[in-house]
Amino acid sequence: MPAELVIDVSGVTKRFGPKTVVNDVSLQVRRGEIYGFLGPNGSGKTTFIRMLCGLLTPDGGTGTCLGYDVRTQQAEIKRHVGYMTQKFSYYEDLSIRENLDFIARVYAVPDRVNAVQQSLERLGLANRSAQLAGQLSGGWKQRLALAACLIHSPQLLLLDEPTAGVDPKARREFWDQIHQLAADGLTVLITTHYMDEAERCHRLAYLAYGNLLTRGTVDEVVASANLTTWEVTGANLLALATSLRGRPGIEQIVPFGNTLHVTGRDAAQLEAAIAPWRAAAGHHWALIPAGLEDVFISLMETAKDNFA
């Protein structure tokens, strides 16, 4: 395995009964990279992450995580990975310090007392160290969960929708911490539904119903979708959307604040579809670059639901 690759897997597949929830997924993640993993609910993101960190065994495919085989060396992988689940794991009747001390004991962290103190200081928890975890707000619980993931100095951090339900300020502070960790050499694979967070990742992959549909930098992902988007402003946009919906060449119509985005893959067909409305008064039409959200809505709408 090339030294710079922390995750290098090919053809990874997982089935539960007759359903294939991860289908032939290949992924490479470099050291120090923040890799965004996106897709609709039920797309297989969490299952894929659990295979990477040794909690599930793939039914097919090969590869390594941190140089260890994802099928045969799962115990070794677990020792070097920090995994932050969708539901933060902590003991509500223990203090922040006691929670971190417990996790440090589980991992047999050397010089445990000092490691806990450093973790408290790094995540800005030192002044609250005696506070019970059950009394914390969402943002502070998030910090505690991240501190617990880092207590054993992992080489890879797997974060499964870590900012769901957290206020914008806490989300921004969390991402500042993630970028600092990556700058220090930690590799991060993170799932998110927030487009502003996706844009802060170095590279992205989009999984829909078990299938990897696209990957690359933000610019590469947007360019590969080959979408054309018109932005419409003016009165009665809801009525306009109703009139346009279902016309050949129009793939999606999405409100964005006080504007409407009308998008399609065939630029000429799209322009022909909207021509009568562009010629009419009352609305302003402008051709704009497609955004990441336009791309992901398009991918979601065209993906085949494997549970349908």
Q: What is the CATH number of the domain that holds 255?
A: 3.30.70
Virtual torsion, Cα 70, 74, 77, 83, nearest 10 deg: 100
Q: Which amino acid is at 132?
A: L
Interaxial angle between packed helices 96-106 and 138-150, expressed in degrees from 0 to 180 and rounded to the nearest 10: 30
22 within 8 A of 44, measured Cβ to Cβ:
yes
Give the chain's radius of gyration (CA, Å): 22
258 shares a domain with 139: no
Distance CA 16, CA 181 (A): 35
Q: Is 132 helix (H, G, I), strand (E, B) or coil?
A: strand
Do the beta carbons of residue 254 and residue 297 sit within 8 Å?
yes
Tell me, yes or no, whether 88 and 189 share the same domain.
yes
Does residue 199 sit in the same domain as residue 93? yes
Q: What is the pLDDT of residue 303?
A: 66
Q: What angle do CA 73, 146, 56 make, to 5 degrees?
A: 30
Let me know if residue 114 belongs to a domain: yes
pTM score above 0.85: yes
- In this structure, the answer to whether residues 257 and 132 fall within a common structural domain is no
- Residues 123, 250, single domain; the answer is no
For residue 305, what pLDDT is reported? 61
Last residue within a domain, chosen from 175, 197, 221: 221
User: What's the confidence (pLDDT) of residue 1?
Assistant: 42
Low-confidence ranges of the chain (pLDDT < 70): 1-3, 303-308
232 and 213 within one domain = no
33 neighbors 205 (Cβ within 8 angstroms): no
- The domain boundary residue, chosen from 221, 236, 270: 221
- Alpha carbon 18 to its chain's center: 27
In one letter, which amino acid is 47? T
Please report the pLDDT score of residue 94 as a whole number. 93
Per the structure, the complete domain to which residue 268 belongs is given by 228-289
Q: What is the CATH number of the domain that holds 200?
A: 3.40.50.300
What pLDDT score was predicted for residue 2?
A: 44
48-88: pLDDT as tens digits = 999 999 999 999 999 999 999 999 999 999 999 999 887 77
